[in-house]
């Protein structure tokens, strides 16, 4: 990140890797808190599955996103072409 930093340029808060780590830790903590929050209120649910384990929505979102990204990577193997793929096709 710092390699392209111009020497005379202002140093930004995010340029410091420690601050980036702080943000990531903050995210871990907030995620944990959101799960713990499930113990402190009565959840109004439409389906019983919504309340199987604390943080049900969180786990669903996490697994959903990992599935999304990993399957998109597989899709890329099948679908990705050169940037000018259609230009070439037009010139045939």
Positions touching other proteins (CB under 8 A) are: 1, 4-5, 10, 12, 14, 24, 27-28, 30-31, 34-35, 37-38, 41-47, 50, 55-62, 64-66, 68-73, 75-76, 78-87, 89-90, 92
Least separation in angstroms between CB 45 and other proteins: 8
CA torsion angle 43 46 50 55 (round to 10): -40
CA–CA dist 43, 61 (Å, integer): 18
How far lies 39's CA from each of 26, 35, 51, 89, in Å? 21, 8, 11, 59
Nearer to other proteins, 16 or 85 (CB): 85
Nearer to other proteins, 14 or 16 (CB): 14
């Amino acid at each position: 990140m710092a390699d392209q930093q111009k020497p005379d340029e202002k140093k930004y808060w995010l340029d410091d890797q420690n601050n980036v780590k702080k943000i990531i830790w903050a995210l871990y903590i907030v995620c944990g808190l959101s799960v713990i929050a499930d113990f402190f209120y009565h959840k109004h649910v439409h389906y019983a599955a919504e309340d199987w384990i604390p943080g049900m929505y969180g786990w669903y979102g996490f697994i959903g996103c990992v599935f999304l990204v990993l399957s998109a990577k597989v899709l890329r193997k099948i679908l990705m072409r050169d940037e000018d793929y259609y230009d070439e096709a037009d010139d045939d």
